[in-house]
Amino acid sequence: MAAIIDIIVPDLGDFDAVEVIELLVTAGDSVAREDGLITVETDKAAMDIPCPENGVVESLSVAIGDTVSSGQVIGKLKVEVSDTVVIAPALRYEPTGDTTVLASPAKPDGQPQKSGGVQTLVVPDLGDFEEVEVIEVQISKGDRINTDDPLVTIETDKAAMDVPAIVGGRIESVLVKVGDKVSKGSSLAIIEADAPVAQPEPAADGVAVADTSAADETAQQTPVAAKQQAPAAQELPSINEAGFSRAHASPSVRKLARELGVDLAQVKGNGAKDRILHDDVKAFVKAILTGQSAAPGGGLPKTPSVDFSKFGEIDVQPLTRIQKISGPRLQASWINLPHVTQHDLADITDLEAKRQELKGPAKERGISLTPLAFIIKAVVSALQEYPKVNSSLSDDGKSLVLKKYVHIGFAADTEQGLMVPVIRDADKKDVYELAAELGELSALARDGKLKSDQLQGATFTVSSLGGIGGTAFTPIVNAPEVAILGVSRSSMQPVWNGSEFTARLMLPLSLSYDHRVVDGAAAVRFTTYLGKALADVDSLIQATP
């Protein structure tokens, strides 16, 4: 036979008019005893209000933003009469910091109270919960504690709770550790008591009080016996406990986070007052699985925030739109790709002589024949010889995407920031066509008139700093490409030809690559081939698409 009973807010201790911040169930949901129904938040902690019985939610009479107090009816629950029992003892929720204290049940009238002497502190009646995990031990040997000071923090699937001391004194030994499982009557510590137990609060009218004789009997056990009963510690998820405990989240969210191994200190809350919701934890895990963020424990420490104005005059200038876009992409590439840079030198003595010879006739055709055009032509030849460098790693990381086209991106320095225009089908163009397109795209980049398709699709990027200077650098791979070529300023250097040193114009090459795709041997073969291609200028000029 079914009956409709009221869902009543349990004793909230000293708190009144507590705000409802989350509804965990809706009308029609089947719930079990102690399932969370709503989450409320005081100025100290968030806690779940548990369901009193097994049944089906008939209705909830509160909404997010409402306030509730002890004894208030917040809804109706449909239960089977045969399943209805009196819960004993009554649990009084006392928020302290980020946890919820489970107050010790009051002893029946007339039961003798313990005074001083060596005593065993045990776990009070936990209701329907058994084998509850210890997530924090708040005492150590030699500590002096007062009545109601927390001994350990335990966590059920509904709430985190502190187990308080029933007597003050000095801790002789601690019998549990983080990861142990405890139940009613489990021994927690041995204490040299120096004060009688504080008189408990009377039980609420109409609520049965549990018989604590079993707990008292357990309290007479020796420390050795108590240790034998304590189960072996279980390994906990790798979580920063200090940050986890400070996170603004309800007990049910904390439970979910522990089950998934999520450090709440790394999760951004989107609830009221930046509170972390269930969906925030799930979104964090999804981002990790899809590679959109670093894994738990792998988060980067933040750089310190400094008020520079206290040291002198400053001028704050906003980043350009391009800098705002390129910065996070470069950072993501640097973090996610294992970068290695191979440095090499290419002899371009003959190339530069030939370029000077052809520069005049090319200018008459309206073409600026720069060294970069020859470098790109040589890069195309090297990519055709080593197609893996012209590939991308698949999203699942299990295969390579080999591209049968060659689109070359080149870094263009503009007043707005670094831009990378793309020369499409570079393998189908000769040196003069490459030089002409370089000039056109560079002019568009400087004027901010590049179209979106002129900035997409590159399979390989060349970053040339030769016109500015430098001897070598480590360019960041433009993901999802797997390599990028850095070119520094060429210089005359003595080179041994087998019989004597001769002056040669040497070009520094810096090839950065994704080590998951390209290994060191392949990288040095690529730069060696590229150097040979640059040295054979006639082949570059005569090469026809």
Number of structural domains, the chain? 4
Among the listed ranges 125-139, 167-181, 434-448, 507-521, which one has the minimum average pLDDT value? 125-139
Helix (H) or strand (E) holding 284: helix 278-289
- What pLDDT is recorded for position 256? 84
Residue-range definition of the domain harbouring residue 210: 96-106+114-229
Inside any domain, residue 512: yes
Within this chain, do residues 262 and 352 fall inside the same structural domain, yes or no?
no
Is 373 or 101 the better-scoring residue by pLDDT? Answer: 373
The pLDDT of residue 138 is 87
pLDDT at 452 (0 to 100):
83
Are residues 204 and 337 part of one domain? no
6-48 pLDDT tens trace: 898 887 777 788 888 888 888 988 888 778 888 888 766 677 8
Name the percent of the chain lying above pLDDT 70. Answer: 78
Residues 537 and 406 in one domain: yes
Centroid of chain to Cα 100: 27
Same domain, 249 and 224: no
Higher pLDDT, 195 or 359: 359
Report yes or no: 391 and 482 within 8 Å, Cβ to Cβ.
yes
Give yes or no for residue 89 having a pLDDT over 80.
no
Same domain as 332, residue 276:
no
Burial 190-201, CB ≥16 within 10 A → b, else e:
bbebeeebeeee
Percent of the chain with pLDDT over 90: 38
Tell me: do 257 and 213 sit in the same domain.
no
Catalytic residue among 278, 339, 343, 515: 515
Q: What is the CATH number of the domain that holds 435?
A: 3.30.559.10
Return d(Cα 462, Cα 460) in angstroms, integer.
7
Is residue 296 assigned to a domain? no
pLDDT in tens, 202-240: 444 433 333 433 334 433 443 333 333 433 333 333 565
Greater confidence, 114 or 395?
A: 395
Indicate whether 425 and 519 sit together in one domain: yes
* CATH number of 159's domain: 2.40.50.100
Q: Does 143 have pLDDT greater than 80?
A: yes
Residue type at 508 in one-letter notation = P
485 and 338, same structural domain?
yes
Domain assignment present for 317: no
Using alpha carbons only, how large is the chain's radius of gyration in Å?
Answer: 36
* Pairing status of strand 132-137 against strand 181-182: antiparallel
Which tokens in the block code for residue 358? 């052809």
- Contact indicator for 347, 495 with CB cutoff of 8 Å: yes
Active site (annotated) includes residue 515: yes
Answer whether residue 408 is part of any domain: yes
pLDDT at 232: 38
Do 57 and 194 lie in one domain? The reply is no
pLDDT band at 111 (very low <50, low <70, confident <90, very high): very low
The pLDDT of residue 112 is 38
CATH number where 279 lies? 4.10.320.10
**Is 267 part of any domain?**
yes
Closest CA to 413 of 421, 405, 423: 421
- Asked if residue 200 is part of any domain, the answer here is yes
Residues 445 and 491 in one domain: yes
Q: Please, what is the end-to-end C-alpha distance for the chain in angstroms?
A: 87
CA separation for the pair 9, 61 (Å, rounded): 12
Longest alpha-carbon distance in the chain? 113
Element (H, E) at 487: strand 483-487
Q: Which helix (H) or strand (E) holds 189?
A: strand 187-193
- pLDDT band for position 116 (cuts 50, 70, 90): low
Q: Is the domain of 513 the same as that of 425?
A: yes
Least confident of 207-216, 254-263, 438-447: 207-216
Residue at 156 is within a domain: yes
Residues 145, 59 share a domain: no
Report the pLDDT value the prediction gives residue 261, as an integer from 0 to 100: 82
**Residue (of 385, 433, 379, 427) closest to 406 by Cα position:** 427
- The verdict on residue 298 lying in a domain is no
**Mean of the per-residue pLDDT values of the chain:** 80
